[in-house]
Structure 1
Amino acid sequence: MLKQTTYDSPLGQMTLLADDAGLYGVWFDGQAYFGGTFDLTTIASGDNAVLQAATAWMTAYFNGHEGQRPALHFSGTPYRQAVQQALCDIPRGQVATYQQLADRLEKFLGHKTAARAIGGAVGHNPLSVIVPCHRVVGSDGSMTGYAGGLWRKQALLELEGASDQVKL
């Protein structure tokens, strides 16, 4: 059964959505694509072990530590799920470009993919922060869009010590 809870992060309130097997969503309130394909108005607030693990992970993350992610449900098309998995491979404190992700996925998928297609999938990532889409930058290292707002992306990269890798 799906449950949702809120988390008060240093960058604003977040909504987390999970069932007993894994996390479906983590969104900053008011961000683009808030709630993804879920109608959050129909889902009860509550708690379960996955939400507890996710909030503990978030607290550790904002305190400078990043342990093992809670169980995740990747969603969307198989392509978007592959992008979400690739995002998880970008280490804390590092960034990757959309083209670098496209090149990685080409090897995994066995066919070419465009940086622009990666951008669409990254922008719709329903698992903000935990699946670190904020670590993706433009081909010249410039700060590019972030569904939670560029100021949050900059703050997350600063928290991780990666802001020196980005053109602000």
Structure 2
Amino acid sequence: MQTAFINSPLGITKIVGDENGISIISCASSSIALGSVLSEGQISETIPNELKEAVSQLQEYFEGKRTDFTFKLNPKGTDFQQKVWQELLNIPFGKTISYLDLSKKLGDVKAIRAVASANGKNPLWIVVPCHRVIGTDGSLTGYAGGLWRKKWLIEHETPSNQQSLF
């Protein structure tokens, strides 16, 4: 497995994968704004070949130039977690869904807690868009990376409704 650390607007992003695909994308630090790198490692000077496409696409996403990802994914999890993560991939860019609606799509409204738990264990930050799942009342509930990151991601993906004055 290869690992790379890149800078993002939300902190240092850790990417782990190999020739079989990307297994982990996570936010490895809470802030680099103070000029010090607060992570498990420094920003990578070179990116392993197996991770270059993922790094490139993530950078395009943060620049607002990409709305979907095409690199190969290889997350590790139970069959149920895999099923939930696969359903998360069906949530369109710029849209949100409630935990309840996600449970319904998976065929068991009573599994809402298990679905929420699997959502929280998603190892592929941003790419498998667990941040697009919100409370039934529209609240930004539960996000392993912190609610401020979830809010940033949803706002980043939501087109501005402001009309041009000119």
Give the TM-score of the pair, scaled to structure 2: 0.81
Q: Which moved further from structure 2: 59-68 or 134-143?
A: 59-68
1:118 aligns with 2:118: no
1:154 and 1:163 in contact (8 A); partners too: no
How much has 1:49 moved relative to structure 2?
3.6
| Alignment CA distance shift 1:163-1:134 (3 Å) | farther
2:12 and 2:28 in contact (8 A); partners too: yes
- Residue by residue over 1:81-102, the C-alpha shift from the partner in whole angstroms, topping out at 9 and shown as x without a partner, is 0111111110110001111111
- Rounded Cα–Cα distance in structure 2 between residues aligned with 1:129 and 1:153: 10
Greater share of helix residues, 1 or 2?
1
How much has 1:47 moved relative to structure 2?
3.9
Alignment of 1:4-153 (within 5 A): 4-30=3-29, 47-64=47-64, 65-106=66-107, 113-153=110-150
- Rounded Cα–Cα distance in structure 2 between residues aligned with 1:113 and 1:46: 46
- Rounded Cα–Cα distance in structure 2 between residues aligned with 1:75 and 1:26: 12
Partner of 1:159: 156
Structure 2 counterpart of 1:14, which letter? T
Q: Secondary structure at the match of 1:66?
A: coil
Let me know the Cα RMSD of the aligned residues.
2.3
- Name the structure, 1 or 2, with higher relative contact order (CA <8 Å, separation 6+): 1
Q: Equivalent pairs: percent with the same residue?
A: 38
- Rounded Cα–Cα distance in structure 1 between residues aligned with 2:70 and 2:18: 15
Give the TM-score of the pair, scaled to structure 1: 0.80
- Residue by residue over 1:131-155, the C-alpha shift from the partner in whole angstroms, topping out at 9 and shown as x without a partner, is 1110000111111011111000000
Which structure would you say has the larger Rg? 2
Q: Which moved further from structure 2: 64-73 or 124-133?
A: 64-73
Structure 2 unaligned segments of length 5 or more: list them.
Answer: 31-39, 162-166
